[in-house]
C-alpha cells in the first residue's frame, strides 16, 4: 500500500512540475492544482493510515486510533488550494482578456523578434 501511495505522490508531482513549466496559463493552473493534490496525499499518508479506527482517543477502551492532525491539515489545505485556484483563474482570465492570448512570456521583445543576443 505504501508503494502505491508513494507512486501516486511521485506521479502527481512529476505531472504538476511538467504542467507548471508550460507557456500557457491554463496548464500552469492545472499543474499547481496537481502539486497541491500531491501534497495533500502526502500529508494524509503521513498520518499512518489505520483502517476502521476512530480519530479520537478513548480512555475507556484500548483501541488503535488514527491521528486527526493530518486530516485537519489536509482539509485546510483543500480549502486554501481551492481559493488559490479561483484567484489564479481570475488573474489568467483578466490577462487573457487584456492581451488576447494566454501565453506566459516574460520577455516582450522576444515575441517581436527584437531581442538582443
Share of the chain above pLDDT 90, in %: 45
More confident residue, 14 or 115: 14
* Gap between the Cα atoms of 35 and 23, Å rounded: 17
For the entire predicted model, the pTM comes to 0.76
The answer to whether residues 11 and 40 touch, using CB atoms and an 8 Å cutoff, is no
* Gap between the Cα atoms of 43 and 76, Å rounded: 11
The torsion region of residue 18 among left (phi > 0), alpha (psi -120 to 50) and beta comes to alpha
Element (H, E) at 82: helix 68-99
The answer to whether residues 34 and 64 touch, using CB atoms and an 8 Å cutoff, is no
The domain 2-51+64-105 is placed in CATH, from the list 1.10.287, 1.20.1050, 3.10.150, 3.40.50, at 1.10.287
Q: Is the pLDDT of residue 23 over 60?
A: yes
Q: Which residue has the cell 479520537?
A: 56
Q: Which sequence spans correspond to the domains of the chain?
A: 2-51+64-105
Amino acid at each position: 500500500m505504501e508503494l502505491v501511495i508513494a507512486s501516486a505522490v511521485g506521479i502527481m508531482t512529476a505531472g504538476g512540475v511538467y504542467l507548471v513549466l508550460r507557456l500557457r496559463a491554463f496548464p500552469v493552473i492545472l499543474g499547481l492544482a496537481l502539486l497541491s493534490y500531491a501534497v495533500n496525499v502526502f500529508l494524509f499518508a503521513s498520518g499512518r493510515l489505520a483502517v476502521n479506527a476512530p480519530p479520537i482517543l478513548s480512555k475507556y477502551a484500548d483501541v488503535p486510533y488514527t491521528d486527526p492532525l493530518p486530516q485537519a491539515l489536509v482539509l485546510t489545505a483543500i480549502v486554501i488550494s481551492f481559493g488559490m485556484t479561483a484567484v489564479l483563474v481570475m488573474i489568467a482570465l483578466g490577462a487573457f482578456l487584456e492581451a488576447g492570448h494566454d501565453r506566459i512570456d516574460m520577455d516582450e521583445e522576444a515575441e517581436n523578434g527584437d531581442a538582443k543576443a
